[in-house]
Structure formats: C-alpha cells, structure tokens
A and B are shown apart, each in its own frame.
Chain A
Amino acid sequence: ETGVTQSPTHLIKTRGQQVTLRCSSQSGHNTVSWYQQALGQGPQFIFQYYREEENGRGNFPPRFSGLQFPNYSSELNVNALELDDSALYLCASSLAGTSRTNEQFFGPGTRLTVL
C-alpha cells in the first residue's frame, strides 16, 4: 500500500508568481484535503476535494484553488504569491463513506518559500 506522496519537496518562488503543488493520495482513498502550516503553528485547512468537486473550504482567498483528478490525485494552485504564503503545505487523503470520521493520512509536505 503506497502512502500519500507530495511533490516537490521544496520550492522557492518570488512574490507575484504562481505555483502548483501535487499530491498523490493513498491507494483506495477518494478524498483529499490541503493544509497550510506556518512555522510553529498548526495546520490551517485550505479545502477538501471529494470525487473531483470542492467539498469544503477554509478561510483562504480565491487565489488558492485546487483540482482533483479521476485517479484522486490532486493539485493545489496558488496565484499572485505573497511573502506570507511561505509555509509547509500538507496534503491528506481519506476514504469518505458512511463514516464521517475516517482517518486522514498525511503526506510529508511541500516547503514553499516566497522571496
């Protein structure tokens, strides 16, 4: 069973640029959630995708957008990067079903630095 993988591991961008982060969910999982974790803070929920549709969203502006593909992998896109977007971006996958508390499995994260 393959776990959650994310790419790239590290990324450096400049203010105003756009970035795409990628996530492959754990085998058999159909739901992907994205989080932003600033240094020394807890993860902040960005949004969740279920069956290729956005299924929930946290308090992030529209320049944070996402996609989920038929194989349940996912992308996080951030436009017009700001310095405060520098953080660790975590992807978590789960299997949505009759249980609303299915465990989320987290990837190792992508460290984004905006200069």
Chain B
Amino acid sequence: GNSVTQMEGPVTLSEEAFLTINCTYTATGYPSLFWYVQYPGEGLQLLLKATKADDKGSNKGFEATYRKETTSFHLEKGSVQVSDSAVYFCALSDYFGNQFYFGTGTSLTVIP
C-alpha cells in the first residue's frame, strides 16, 4: 500500500542555517508528492508539489525534488528564518488524486 515516512522531530536550527527534512514514500503507480506547512495557529497550507519523477517543486526558498530511484522527496532550504518555524508534512496522492497519505509531521523551530 501507499505510505509516507518523514524524519522525526522536533528540529531546532539557528537562523540562516541549512534545513533538510527527509521524506521517503512507498507507492504503486505514479503518485504526486507534496509538502504542506502548518504555521502556529493556522491551518494546513500547500508549500510545494511535484507530479512526476525528477520534477522540482519550489516556493518561498524551499525546494524538494521527486526522486523515483530513491523514493524520496526531501525538503531543503538554504537559509532558514525565524518565520519558518512551523510543522511540515510530507504527503502523496495516488495518480488520480483521490487517495491521500500524510507523514506524521516534523516540527521546526528556528531561533535568532
């Protein structure tokens, strides 16, 4: 079956540090991959997405590349800011977009 595994948190970084949050997946067929973010006191919102192998999703300085050979979709940012403090969720949908699977979330705290 389909599933998503992401690195355990919490993660604490200093401002301007490099961020990597690992995400691997198990899926049949050709899933789409997503990163969602939940800022304190707010609802889930889409951060970036990729729909096929080797696609790179990017937004707000964050990037993730859909790697079929390693079944991974790691989230990276070169220089984090305090405002990036949030919970990050890796997710996948099946090819038709009517089944969704989320990871358990990784809490990120960025300190000045």
Report which A residues bind B (CB closer than 8 A).
4, 33, 35, 40-45, 48, 50, 55-56, 58, 90, 92, 96, 100-109
Contacts and interface: CB of A to CB of B under 8 A. Distances in A.
B51 A101 contact: yes
8 contacts: A42-B89, A42-B105, A44-B102, A50-B98, A56-B98, A58-B100, A92-B44, A106-B45
A50 B100 CA distance: 15
Contacts, number: 62
Interface residues of B, number: 23
Residue of B32, B95, B100 with most partner-chain A CB within 10 A:
B100
Given A40-B105, A45-B101, A100-B97, 13 more contacts: A4-B43, A33-B100, A41-B104, A41-B105, A42-B102, A42-B105, A48-B100, A100-B51, A100-B95, A100-B96, A101-B97, A106-B43, A107-B43
Interface of B: 4, 32, 43-46, 49, 51, 89, 91, 93-105
